Amino acid sequence: MFTTKSVENIQFLPFLTTDVNNLSWLGYGVLKQDWTLIAVNTAGATLQTLYILVYLYYSPAKRQVLLRSLLLLAVLAAGYGYFTLLIEDARTRLARLGLFCSVFTISMYLSPLADLAKVVRSRSTRCLSFPLTVTTFLASTSWTLYGLQLHDPYITVPNVPGIVTSAVRFWLFWRYPPGQDKPYRALHA
């Protein structure tokens, strides 16, 4: 965005959903008093919020970006009200927030499945990011191991689909290597 001074070909929704995910896990970490969750998700939420602000700055459709961001804030305020005002028991609050975070994280990991079908149909991995696949694999594996160490299913279970979808993407990169789908022939000198 900084280089091109544009948001062309950059989707806004992943920034927004990742910010919601980080803020939700931050709330879970605060309730659980888990400083690892707090530190990691504070950094993640800060970065995602900065990405949103940069996106807003370079976006020609500022109103739409602002409305989506305000909708996010309204959802977060409603969630905060639900979890803090309506659920008085701390253990119940932690369990329900953990379940919400788990479902949200699973949906984030499963969302690229539409791209995977496109890759198989086109026999091209052009629409997949290898660095993102590696990062997703490492992050979801780390969180799964951390959840296992804590015996916390709300951390462990939602990260397993990240490992599985990353493994599927690695297989697709092996099966349809980048570069084999070039629409041109290389010139030999």
pLDDT tens readout for residues 51-93: 888 888 888 888 888 888 888 888 888 888 888 888 889 899 9
Q: Are residues 58 and 117 in the same domain?
A: no
HSE-up of residue 115 (Cα within 13 Å, Cβ side): 16
95 in a domain, yes or no? no
User: What pLDDT digit, counting tens, does each position of 107-135 carry?
Assistant: 888 877 777 778 888 888 887 888 888 99
pLDDT digits (tens, 9 = 90+) for 130-183: 888 899 999 999 999 999 999 999 999 999 999 999 999 899 999 988 776 555
Query: Is 173 inside a domain boundary?
Result: yes
98: in domain: no
- Shared-domain flag, residues 77 and 2: yes
Q: Which of 35, 52, 86 is the last residue of a domain?
A: 86
3-state secondary structure of 127: coil
Q: What CATH number did the domain enclosing 115 receive?
A: 1.20.1280.290
Instruction: For residue 25, tell me if it sits in a domain.
Output: yes
**Residue 121 lies inside a defined structural domain of this protein:** yes
DSSP character for 112?
Answer: T
User: Within this chain, do residues 52 and 133 fall inside the same structural domain, yes or no?
Assistant: no
CA distances from 109 to 12, 14, 17, 70, 118 (A): 17, 11, 11, 24, 17
Q: Are residues 5 and 70 in the same domain?
A: yes
Q: In terms of C-beta density within 10 A (0-12 exposed, 13-18 middle, 19 or more buried), how is residue 131 classed? A: exposed
Tokens of 76: 């977060």
Q: Is residue 99 part of a domain?
A: no
CA distances 19 to 13, 122, 186, Å, are 10, 32, 42
Residues 16 and 61 in one domain: yes
CATH number at residue 24: 1.20.1280
Identify the burial level of 41 via C-beta atoms within 10 angstroms of its C-beta, where 0-12 means exposed, 13-18 middle and 19 or more buried.
Answer: buried
Helix and strand element counts for the chain (H, E): 7, 0
pTM strictly above 0.85: no
Q: Estimate the share of the chain in helix, then strand, then coil, as percent rounded to the nearest 5.
A: 75, 0, 25
Arithmetic mean of pLDDT over the chain: 87
Structural domain boundaries, residue 22: 1-86
Q: In this structure, are 59 and 121 located in the same domain?
A: no
Domain count across the chain: 2
